[in-house]
Structures are given as C-alpha cells and as structure tokens.
Structure 1
C-alpha cells in the first residue's frame, strides 16, 4: 500500500519527461527559423549592393544557372578573322571586345597566376551581365609574335570598340585601350568593372605605332613580320648578338678607315751628261 502513490505518480512523471524533448525541438525550430531569416536578409542586402554598383553578386551568379560566355583564343593566324569591325550583332554600331593577355615564365615571369584565376572568375560573372562584351584571351607565351606586334604586356586588358563600316564601306577608327593589371592585387570585380562601370574611359585611347588596326604596322601589313623580328632577337643568345655587333662594327670601320692612296713616287732624275 505504501507503493501505491508512487505507482500512481509514474504516468505523470513519464509525461513530464516526454515534454522536455518537445521543448528542445521547439527551441531548435525557432533558432533555425531565425537563422534562415537572417540569411535571407543578408542575401537581399548583398544583391541590392551589387545591383547598385552594376557588378553581379558572385553568389547569385554562381547560383543562377546561366550559360558560360565563350572566350576566344586569339592567335596570329585567326585574330584578323575574329576581330572584325562591325559584326552583324553590334548595336548601336559598335561592338566591344575585352582581350585578356597572359603569359608564362618567360613573358610574365611566372607572376600571372593570380590574374589568371581572377580572369576565370570574371568570365563567370560576365555570364550574368546582359550587355557583356565579347571576350578573348591572348597567351603571350604561345603567341609572342602577336603580343610583340601589338606592344602588349602581360597581364593586361586590351579593351577594343570595333565600329561597323559606314555606308560607303569605309571603316571608322577603332578605339583601343591598353589597361595593365596589378599582378598582386587584381580581382575579378576589377576586371568586370572595366566593362560594367566603363572604367576604361578613365584612360587615354592608344593611337600609336602598335595600334592593332590603325597603327602603321597594321596599315602596312607588317605587324606580324615585325613581331617575328622582335621574337627572333628575344630568343637570340646574348653572346651571339655581341658577336654580330662586333663583326658589323669591324666591317664598317674597316671600310671607312681603309688604306688611303699617298703621293705617287717621283721618277728618278735622268743621269746628267758628263763633259
């Protein structure tokens, strides 16, 4: 009989023990709800900030299943066919091209690793930009002749605005900007901002000797041959260059300082007559 109260209290104790796990689960649900709401607010804030700056948010760009933009590999054989002024899709009359130049140990001294990584990220971001420029890549390690013909260094961005031909089939001048990239601090956002924020307009368009379309080399068709000449000198051993210079200078000086004709010897006087 003494155990009767204890026996009667067992159902109540079991019910109380079952309530505590329910309370713990309720707390967990509340915490999960708060965390999800905070995450949504942060995502919305990041998206708003990206929209205000004109640069797509990397998270949204990665989450959105957009088609990756094509990047054309430029070579000395195909660049004239690829970079044609005034493509049919150009609107309103100008087509923008962004050419990324890179290199290896010889042309970039092995310091293009970071810029290569950031360029790859920038290509993904450009895929979410409606008015993204056409993208191309120029490897100065594999195509040194073309880089020499354009006077392009690595890493850099060559931003081109290719105009459509006029009704009389004449082609207006092509606007080209050479934009060097910082090898240690460049970011994907910096590269994307060149097009989305038009930061390339902060620089002066290039109009010199190495202009890819309107320079003297391009107009005379000597751009690639000039690139080959510069490339030949770059791979020539220094000792061979010194020997060539020495040989040329000796030959030139020997011709200039050759033997000079002196006064002709006088003929001997005839022997006098003896008387």
Structure 2
C-alpha cells in the first residue's frame, strides 16, 4: 500500500512532539531559548507550527530535552517531510483561497472525511459544472485562469475517492442544498445524478436530511471532521466562514463535532432512502 505523506500533517505531528518534549522536561520556553541561544519567539514559532523546525533545530531541542536517539531520529525525519512541497502547492495563492491550503494538506492524508453540508453540495462530490457556477458567483470574481486551476484542484481532490486505498467520505446533506438551483435545472439534475452514482461507491455514504426533520443539531453551521490513518494524528474539525476558516484540534471541541455529526446521521434518511429521494428530485427538474 502506497503511503500518503502530507507535509501539513507531518508539521502538526512534529509540533506536538516538540511541545511534549518541553512539557516532559519541565522547562520554560525562556529556559530552552537561553540554552540554545535562540530568541523566545523563535521557539514559540516552532511550537505553534508558525514555522517548521528543520533537522538541525530538532537535533538541538532533542539534546536539551534528553530525548532518546531513536525518537530523536524519528522527529528529524518528520522535520524533513514537513519541509517537502505538497502536490497542491503548485497552485498559486489566488487558487488556494484564504487558508484553504492547510485544509487541502490535511485532507490529502486523511483516511475519513465526515461532512455536514447545509446549503451546498460537498466539494468532493460536486460536478464540474456545478462547481463552475459557484465560482462564477463568488465576490470578488476570479479570472478564467484561476477558475480553470480551481477546477483542476478539485478534480485532483476527487481522484482520491477512486484510489486503490480510497478516501472514505460520509456526508449529511440538507435538503435545501439539493433544491438550490445552482446553474439551473440541467446543472442540478446532473449534480443530483452524480450524487447517486457517488453514493454507490463502497467508500462513500450520502444521507439526505429532509426538511421534515425539523429542528436539528448544528442548523446553519456546516462543518467537516477529518480522521487520519495514524493514531498519532488526532481528528481535526474544520469550519469555513466568508473570509477564512477555523480548525479545532482540542479533543473536547472535536468530540462536540463528532457527537453532532452522529446526531445528524440519526435524523437523516438512510443511504437507500437518500438515493430514492435524489432520483425523485432529479426527475422533478
């Protein structure tokens, strides 16, 4: 099985290790900075993933903390991986809107994606025409080159659904997203049919949350929870807003999102019922 390596995930793992080393050593940031003749802000940037510590910095920290050689070498390797370029980084900042680049880095190594979508079809399940209509509606509007590159980026993400070791996607989509006529009846009919086809993949679950469900958890608050193949990498919750996004890694916070997703799934139609619902909507258009 080919291992997927994301520098984003490796940097987060490296950062957690660096913080743990200092906590276990019982040292303050100023103590460590003084021992290494660093500034305190430099160490803080490494501990907060604002900058990736290189192999030399990891070796220096390991020496101060008395880290065993085997563990030290493991984190030196992480430092090298964290400085690699991710496949998505060939796209410019105009393509990777706001801090979505970090999300792509996380998703590229994730094993599972759990997504609740209230008004839009989840990106991993969007058709090219549906996505293009959304991009044309954005303000400020992007030029044709950026839109083409964003389309390609989305296709690269969606390709993971068909890998030998595919990404598992579990979605709950509110009925309002399915009835919103993005691009008109023809585009939406194609999109609904694509959801049906996607739902038949063994690694994809699509559940519709109908209007009849009434009051539901997280109403108006779409979110994603990412899980990773290595237990050392904790789940991450992700939520977007108009000009950026928020990531949650604190286990207590992530557990809230996990519980809400489970509750949403229990209120949604089953996979079989959802496919029937989607086919009916497509026929009505």
Same fold (TM over 0.5): no
Larger Rg: 1
| TM norm structure 1 | 0.29
